[in-house]
Amino acid sequence: MQLDSSFSKVFSLEGKIGLITGGGSGIGFDIAKCMIQAGAKIVITGRREDPLKEAVNELGANAHYVVNDVTDLTATEGLVEKIETTIGPVDILVNNAGINMKKPALEVTNDDFNRIIQTNLTSVFALTRAVASKMMNRKSGSIIMISSMAAYYGIDRVVAYAASKSGVEGMVKVLASEFSPHNIRVNAIAPGFIETNMMKTAMNSDPDRMNRALRRTPMGHFGKPSDIGWAAVFLSSESSAYITGASLPVDGGNSIGF
């Protein structure tokens, strides 16, 4: 067998355009950074302009931003149209924007519940539908949903969050099946404990909680946002060309250690 000297090309995102929701900070920012390093052009979104501006300054010339609240469903199709006409066709969509809320189930109001579902699930479907309809014309695309271990395990006080992420996991399988004939792959990444603002808020800087989380993590340390970034590069590159409908845990072994 001849060894292929173009090994790095299978991980390359050269010539691709990626749209990452919630890309101004945390995991989304590192997904953008990793994808740019792999050769892609990136558009990040978020609700606030200042962090997006700062992020794009740091990410360089291949990064762009659009201010957009994913829960504004009347703006979804316009967002995709704007990106495709000003920057180019979206080859990769990463549904990353998300919110959490820790409360005992009986204290969660209907409004609380709906807010989490709207942000983490309904908006994910709306944007995916808008982007996938364009990808279908081009017969090519990769869609990645950022899920969570909360979809798999009963973690106390995250009832709405767990419901939203379980919904995402179900959606991945249906969409992967429906979109496969159009050469569009749909996968999830299920992060474990990743050091971001969301994790800090969830742990409330409480050393006991941090230690409990670490004890549940066989690798013995929390993940970095770039750990998710490189997994996203893999799932959007040619190196994962035959993977669809999968959920990839990136969790230091949480999913075997619970």
C-beta of 4 vs 156, nearer to ligand NDP: 156
Check residue 21 for interaction with ligand NDP (CB under 6 A). yes
Longest CA–CA span in the chain (Å) reads 62
C-beta of 27 vs 235, nearer to ligand NDP: 27
Active site annotation includes 242 = no
d(CA 123, CA 126): 5
Encoded one letter per residue, x for contact with ligand NDP by CB under 6 A and - for no contact, window 46-85 reads xxx--x-----------------xxx--------------
Two structure tokens written together for 257: 């250690």
**Helical axes 26-37 vs 225-236, angle rounded to 10°:** 50
Interface stretch with ligand NDP, choices 56-64, 76-84, 191-199, 229-237 (CB under 6 A): 191-199
d(CA 23, CA 90): 15
Two structure tokens written together for 219: 């690798």
DSSP annotation of 134 reads H
Which one among 137, 197, 204, 205 touches ligand NDP, defined by CB under 6 A? 197
C-beta of 39 vs 253, nearer to ligand NDP: 253
**Cα angle 158-164-167, degrees, rounded to a multiple of 5:** 135
Check residue 128 for interaction with ligand NDP (CB under 6 A). no
Check residue 194 for interaction with ligand NDP (CB under 6 A). yes
Mind telling me the catalytic residues? 161
